[in-house]
């Protein structure tokens, strides 16, 4: 299979301007972003609040229109609507029709997706089972908990057995059990050879779930690739906590080793590269400092994320 | 063939009906809209007040020594039309706005249906709801009239029929405004157009009688552009036993369908371009 046909989602140089209020002045929220998602992967679209994640997803779902640029899903331009029978979408914090029961709700979406009438009842029952809501199928959605709503939402997105699933912040507002349940559903879906595109700002979920990520900050893509590759390239570091050193001497050592410094009332703290720990400790002890602790710090996605946010902010 | 591709093939086959599929989607959304409306308390509140007002016609008519049945039916028709319009405008705008506000529209538009199909489904669902309510109110009207000994003729039924057509047109106007503005403005504009629509004949006649050429042109154009809603009013004919001809009924029906179609096309064009932020 060619590299291109492996691409399920392709975004090329998308720009989006909004006009806040009635003014003529435009605000650019996406600055020409490009990325792609490959078949069969769990793709994490990561960024802080207001970075442009939901805007990008809404453009892909045809809910808002890009100012310029191109995007395609499964090889079809996003302006078309027929390919949408191969995709499922769960918006962030959805409400859904709370006057419907779970079963009525799924039946409604199955009809809209063109699931053959004869199969709807069986399909809905199977789906309720799959998302763990078989017991609540005949209850109205207004009585569902947040976790149950999120699960019926995923059911709605899966009702026509799509190829690609788009999830906007699927874990937000859920308790640890709810998050685990959603994670399990995502894994199950991937195991069946499907592709998942999820936006999130919860980095532990990204580390646990995603095969590939793109980090977006202030409407620009800062990184794209596998989370493991980022972690490999990131320098490992350590934190040294010490006391009993004059500020001027402390500053000299920090400058010599390019250490980051954080002071509190009782202690000072240096952040240094892992290969410099011995030298820094020696220097501190020579000057009479009392070393309290040395803690190795593994580079986490969080650190990369924070760096990206800081870089994006510059 | 794997299970997945077989399933996909069935969906393709079911989806390729073209017009049948579009009509099916419109019917699904319309059905859901009716279900939402009849499961909401607001609608019943309106309906209860309407029935109370129709019944109150009996009390009001006792204040008079003459023409009691006419007063009773005047009040009854007023109640049916007032509450019909209130439901068409406020419930209609509320239901469309709620879809966007609560983001339920996001999941629907991510499915293989166009925005225009969604809007048409919403429209026909609302019209069905408004007609259902009109039907219930008409039943109450007939029951109260019969109980009070007031006559109910074919013209009465024609008057209800034209009221229903008028409400279809008003619903289209309410939907049009709710595609691009807030519920408050959409309600204000819709009520404004409704009131102006009932005055459009007067504006034309005043213009025609005026010596000012500008006012003449203004009156003529206001009548052409605004919906001519007084044409749907057969209640005076019904109450006073004035005979009604076939064109008196057929023309407003065609007018309502044509006017509503134009407004709905404008609504669809606006809705297709809207950003759901």
Using a CB–CB cutoff of 8 Å, tell me whether A156 touches chain B: yes
> Which of these ranges, A174-183, B83-92, B245-254, has the smallest mean pLDDT?
A174-183
How many residues would you count in chain A?
314
Do B54 and B137 form a contact (C-beta atoms < 8 A)?
Answer: yes
Q: Band the pLDDT of B211: cuts 50, 70, 90.
A: confident
The pLDDT tens digits for A76-118 are: 999 887 788 899 999 987 778 888 999 999 999 999 888 888 9
Q: Band the pLDDT of A311: cuts 50, 70, 90.
A: low
- Domain holding B159, by residue range, is 18-273
Nearest CB to B7 within list A82, A96, A161: A161
The pLDDT tens digits for B146-201 are: 988 888 999 999 999 999 999 999 999 999 999 999 999 999 999 999 999 999 88
In a domain, B129, yes or no: yes
Do B220 and B204 form a contact (C-beta atoms < 8 A)?
Answer: yes
Q: Which residues of A touch B104 (CB under 8 A)?
A: 94-97
Count Cα neighbours of A1 within 13 Å in the Cβ-side half-sphere: 7
Q: Cβ–Cβ of B112/A116 closer than 8 Å?
A: no
Q: Cβ–Cβ of A65/B273 closer than 8 Å?
A: yes
- Exposed/middle/buried for residue A199 (C-beta within 10 Å: 0-12, 13-18, 19+): buried
Q: Which residues of A touch B106 (CB under 8 A)?
A: 58, 61, 63, 89, 91, 94
Nearest CB to A112 within list B102, B111, B276: B111
Q: Band the pLDDT of B13: cuts 50, 70, 90.
A: very low
Asked whether the predicted pLDDT for residue A5 surpasses 60, the reply is: no
Q: Considering chain A, what percentage of its residues have pLDDT values greater than 70? A: 90
pLDDT at residue number B277: 78
Q: Cβ–Cβ of A93/B103 closer than 8 Å?
A: yes
How would you list the strands of the sheet with A268-273, edge to edge?
A260-263, A268-273, A237-243, A290-297
Output the average pLDDT for chain B: 88
Q: How far is CA A277 from the centre of its chain?
A: 34
Which residues make up the CATH 3.40.50.300 domain(s) of chain A? 7-232
- β-pairing verdict for A220-225 and A195-200: unpaired
Q: Cβ–Cβ of B10/A157 closer than 8 Å?
A: no
CATH topology for A235-298? Alpha-Beta Plaits (3.30.70)
Please state which of the four CATH numbers 3.40.50.300, 3.10.350.10, 3.20.20.30, 3.40.140.10 is assigned to the domain occupying A7-232: 3.40.50.300
Q: Which residues of A touch B28 (CB under 8 A)?
A: 108, 111-112
Query: Which tokens go with B58?
Result: 């009996």
Segment A154-160 shows an average pLDDT of: 91
SS3 B201: helix
- The number of folded domains in chain B is 1
The pLDDT tens digits for B41-73 are: 888 888 898 889 888 888 887 887 777 888 888
| Distance from the A96 Cα atom to the nearest Cα atom in chain B, whole angstroms | 5
Write phi, then psi, for A311 (nearest 5 degrees): -65, -45
| Distance from the A38 Cα atom to the nearest Cα atom in chain B, whole angstroms | 19
pLDDT at residue number A231: 62
The pLDDT tens digits for A52-79 are: 999 999 999 999 999 999 999 999 999 8
pLDDT at residue number A233: 58
pLDDT at residue number B3: 41
Q: Cβ–Cβ of B28/A112 closer than 8 Å?
A: yes
Q: Which residues of B touch A119 (CB under 8 A)?
A: 10
Q: Band the pLDDT of B6: cuts 50, 70, 90.
A: very low
pLDDT at residue number A90: 92
Do B111 and A83 form a contact (C-beta atoms < 8 A)?
Answer: no
Q: Which residues of A touch B8 (CB under 8 A)?
A: 86, 161
Do A35 and A221 form a contact (C-beta atoms < 8 A)?
Answer: yes
In a domain, B235, yes or no: yes
Higher pLDDT among residues A21 and A211, named by residue: A211
Of all residues in chain B, the one with the smallest CA distance to A117 is B14
Do B80 and B164 form a contact (C-beta atoms < 8 A)?
Answer: no
Q: Cβ–Cβ of B15/A114 closer than 8 Å?
A: yes
Strand runs labelled E in A68-185:
68-73, 76-77, 87-90, 164-168
pLDDT at residue number A23: 67
Q: Cβ–Cβ of A161/B276 closer than 8 Å?
A: no
Which residues make up the CATH 3.30.70.980 domain(s) of chain A? 235-298
Using a CB–CB cutoff of 8 Å, tell me whether A126 touches chain B: no
Do B230 and B205 form a contact (C-beta atoms < 8 A)?
Answer: no
Higher pLDDT among residues B46 and B259, named by residue: B259
Output the average pLDDT for chain A: 86
Asked whether the predicted pLDDT for residue A304 surpasses 80, the reply is: no
pLDDT at residue number A73: 94
Do B234 and B155 form a contact (C-beta atoms < 8 A)?
Answer: yes
- β-pairing verdict for A212-217 and A42-46: parallel
pLDDT at residue number A205: 82
Q: Which residues of B touch A100 (CB under 8 A)?
A: 32, 35
| Distance from the B187 Cα atom to the nearest Cα atom in chain A, whole angstroms | 20
Higher pLDDT among residues A22 and A8, named by residue: A8
- Exposed/middle/buried for residue A21 (C-beta within 10 Å: 0-12, 13-18, 19+): exposed
Rounded CA separation B84/B164 (Å): 8
Q: Cβ–Cβ of A95/B102 closer than 8 Å?
A: yes
| Distance from the B39 Cα atom to the nearest Cα atom in chain A, whole angstroms | 7
Higher pLDDT among residues A266 and A280, named by residue: A280
Higher pLDDT among residues B20 and B30, named by residue: B30
Q: Cβ–Cβ of B111/A85 closer than 8 Å?
A: yes
Helices (H), chain B: 3-15, 19-38, 41-62, 68-86, 92-101, 104-109, 115-148, 154-178, 183-209, 213-225, 235-240, 246-273
């Amino acid at each position: 299979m060619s590299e291109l046909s492996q691409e399920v989602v392709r975004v090329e140089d998308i720009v989006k301007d909004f006009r806040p209020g009635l003014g003529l002045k435009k605000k650019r929220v996406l600055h020409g972003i490009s990325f792609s998602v490959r078949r069969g992967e769990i793709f994490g679209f990561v960024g802080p609040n207001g970075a442009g994640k939901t805007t990008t997803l809404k453009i892909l779902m045809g809910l808002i229109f890009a100012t310029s640029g191109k995007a395609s899903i499964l090889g079809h331009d996003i302006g078309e609507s027929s390919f949408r029978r191969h995709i499922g979408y769960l918006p962030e914090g959805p409400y859904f029709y709370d006057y419907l029961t779970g079963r009525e709700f799924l039946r409604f979406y199955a009809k809209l997706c063109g699931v053959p009438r004869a199969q709807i009842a069986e399909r809905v029952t199977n789906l309720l089972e799959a998302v763990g809501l078989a017991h609540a199928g005949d209850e109205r959605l207004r009585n569902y908990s947040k976790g149950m709503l999120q699960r019926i939402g995923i059911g709605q997105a899966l009702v026509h057995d799509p190829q690609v699933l788009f999830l906007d912040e699927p874990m937000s507002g859920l308790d640890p059990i709810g998050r685990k349940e959603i994670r399990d559903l995502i894994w199950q879906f991937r195991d069946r050879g499907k592709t998942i595109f999820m936006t999130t700002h919860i980095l532990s979920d990204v580390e646990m779930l995603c095969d590939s990520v793109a980090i977006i900050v202030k409407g620009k893509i800062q990184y794209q690739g596998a989370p493991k590759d980022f972690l490999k390239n990131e320098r490992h570091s350590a934190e040294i906590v010490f006391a009993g050193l004059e500020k001027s001497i402390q500053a000299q050592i920090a400058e010599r080793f390019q250490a980051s410094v954080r002071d509190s009332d009782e202690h000072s703290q240096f952040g240094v590269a892992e290969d410099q720990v011995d030298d820094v400790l020696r220097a501190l002890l020579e000057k009479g400092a009392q070393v309290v602790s040395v803690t190795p710090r593994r580079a986490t996605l969080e650190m990369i994320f924070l760096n990206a946010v800081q870089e994006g902010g510059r | 063939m794997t299970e997945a591709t077989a399933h996909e093939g069935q969906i393709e086959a079911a989806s390729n009906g073209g017009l049948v599929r579009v009509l099916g989607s419109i019917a699904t959304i319309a059905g859901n809209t009716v279900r939402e409306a009849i499961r909401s308390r607001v609608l019943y509140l309106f309906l209860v007040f309407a029935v109370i007002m129709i019944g109150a016609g009996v009390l009001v008519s006792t204040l008079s020594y003459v023409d009691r049945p006419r007063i009773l039916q005047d009040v009854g028709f007023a109640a049916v039309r007032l509450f019909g319009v209130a439901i068409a405008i406020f419930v209609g705008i509320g239901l469309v706005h709620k879809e966007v506000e609560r983001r339920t529209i996001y999941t629907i538009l991510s499915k293989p249906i166009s925005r225009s199909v969604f809007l048409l489904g919403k429209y026909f669902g609302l019209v069905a709801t408004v007609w259902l309510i009109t039907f219930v109110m008409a039943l109450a009207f007939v029951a109260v009239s019969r109980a009070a000994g007031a006559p109910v003729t074919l013209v009465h039924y024609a008057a209800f029929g034209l009221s229903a057509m008028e409400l279809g047109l008003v619903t289209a106007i309410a939907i049009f405004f709710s595609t691009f503005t807030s519920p408050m403005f959409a309600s204000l504009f819709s009520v404004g157009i409704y009131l102006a629509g009932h005055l459009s004949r007067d504006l034309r006649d005043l213009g025609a009688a005026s010596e000012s050429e500008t006012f003449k042109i203004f009156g003529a154009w206001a009548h052409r552009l605004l919906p001519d809603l007084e044409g749907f009013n057969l209640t005076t004919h019904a109450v006073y036993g004035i005979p009604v001809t076939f064109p008196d009924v057929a023309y407003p029906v065609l007018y309502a369908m044509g006017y509503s179609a134009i407004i709905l096309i404008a609504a669809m064009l606006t809705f297709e371009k809207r950003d759901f932020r």
